[in-house]
Structure 1
Amino acid sequence: ARLASQTGSDLVDKAVEVGGVRVLAEQVDAADAKALRNTLDQLKNKLGSGVIVLAGVDGEKVRIVAGVTSDLTDRVRAGDMVNRVAERVGGRGGGRADFAQAGGNDPSRLGDALGAVSGWVGEALGETAGN
């Protein structure tokens, strides 16, 4: 829990704004699903409103979690975000509108996948805004 809290504080500063929504997509040291979920929860609390995608690598396995705060789930879905990242790293996943998780087996493509999250959020916001 302490690691999640410290990591969460450092990561909040890396959030970018896309269409008025704070977006954070980062690789973290936490390789197990529980640590990723804990860190995600901490970040959702600290951001207040936003979209978060976190990934950890354990050998050749990639674990991914995505979270969307409740005020944004009608515009951006965590399941959509996690699946887009997972597809890029040779995996798949799913979940609810506010939380989803996935796995993959190609860590070499993780940086590119996480880098694309802001664009995907922008697309999701643009589609719902009618642009």
Structure 2
Amino acid sequence: QLMAYDDAVKQGAMALFGEKYSDTVRVVAMGDFSTELCGGTHVGHSGDIGFFRIVAESGVAAGIRRIEALTGDAALAYTQQQEQQLQQVADVLKAAPQEAAQKLSQILDNVRQMEKEIATLRSKLAGIQSTSLIEQAQEIKGVRVLATALENVNVRTLRETLDNFKNQLKSCVVVLGTIEGGKVILIAGVTDDLTVKLKAGDLINFVAQQVGGKGGGRADMAQAGGTLPEKLPQALASVPGWVEQNL
């Protein structure tokens, strides 16, 4: 029905679309469930809508949801496009469309398993590297210092290797670096007996600045990143001097 805007609001009609309304407004009521101001009725009968596909749903205000849909020829075209995309996915997976979801699930399970195996191999590789690298630790004023780069490792493996070095070297300072995806990853560790004088956060920032990055963390462990991988060797080589200066 048509009524004055103020009267419609008094009756509880909701303006849902952020439109500007004239003094006389159209009010649409659907049973006792909803009374709304309407910008205009677009079809004479609901049957005129034909095929109907909901394509989006979102919140527009507290307690109000907006549903967006396609109808008629547009809904048919949308459905056909989805079928084509499903067929393309099925072709890539070498499976029938109705089997595509199951095949993709199997592939993802295999990927997760391989990722676990890769992580295990990386950890073993880091362990092999650490055995030879432990001998490179320098002694500065009674403190063992090791700053070195590892290859083909991720952040998790760096942390595990850092803990391993700290356990073996006892009173020590360790800085490890690696290059992943063209960027530098750094991690520094200081054993608890040395954190009064040497802070891992200060050390990691000193190293990170040289490779175009920054970082932070606790006094005993800190991480950083950088964008200049070519400067990593020089940055790691500066660690013993920093330790000697700050002891």
- The TM-score with structure 1 as length reference comes to 0.90
Count of paired positions: 125
Give me the whole-angstrom Cα distance separating, in 2, the residues matched to 1:74 and 1:52: 16
Alignment of 1:1-131 (within 5 A): 1-125=123-247
The CA deviation at 1:58 is 1.3
2:165 is paired with a residue of what secondary structure?
helix
The CA deviation at 1:48 is 1.1
Q: Which amino acid aligns with 1:14?
A: Q
Give me the whole-angstrom Cα distance separating, in 2, the residues matched to 1:46 and 1:99: 16
Give me the whole-angstrom Cα distance separating, in 1, the residues matched to 2:234 and 2:199: 20
Give me the whole-angstrom Cα distance separating, in 1, the residues matched to 2:142 and 2:183: 33
- The TM-score with structure 2 as length reference comes to 0.49
The answer as to whether partners of 1:78 and 1:97 remain within 8 angstroms in 2 is yes
Q: Give deviations 1:75-101, integer Å, cap 9, x for gaps.
A: 111111111111000000000010000
The CA deviation at 1:5 is 2.6
> Highest CA radius of gyration, 1 or 2?
2
Q: Point out the more displaced range, 100-109 or 1-10.
A: 1-10
1:97 is paired with a residue of what secondary structure?
coil
Q: Which amino acid aligns with 2:241?
A: G
The CA deviation at 1:13 is 0.3
Please tell me the root mean square deviation across aligned C-alpha atoms, in Å: 1.1
Gaps of 5+ in 1: 126-131
1:90 is paired with a residue of what secondary structure?
coil
Give identity over the alignment, percent. Answer: 50
The answer as to whether partners of 1:66 and 1:99 remain within 8 angstroms in 2 is yes
Moved over 4 A (4+): none
Q: Which amino acid aligns with 1:66?
A: A
Give me the whole-angstrom Cα distance separating, in 1, the residues matched to 2:170 and 2:138: 14
The answer as to whether partners of 1:44 and 1:52 remain within 8 angstroms in 2 is yes
Q: Give deviations 1:49-93, integer Å, cap 9, x for gaps.
A: 100000000132000000001111111111111111110000000
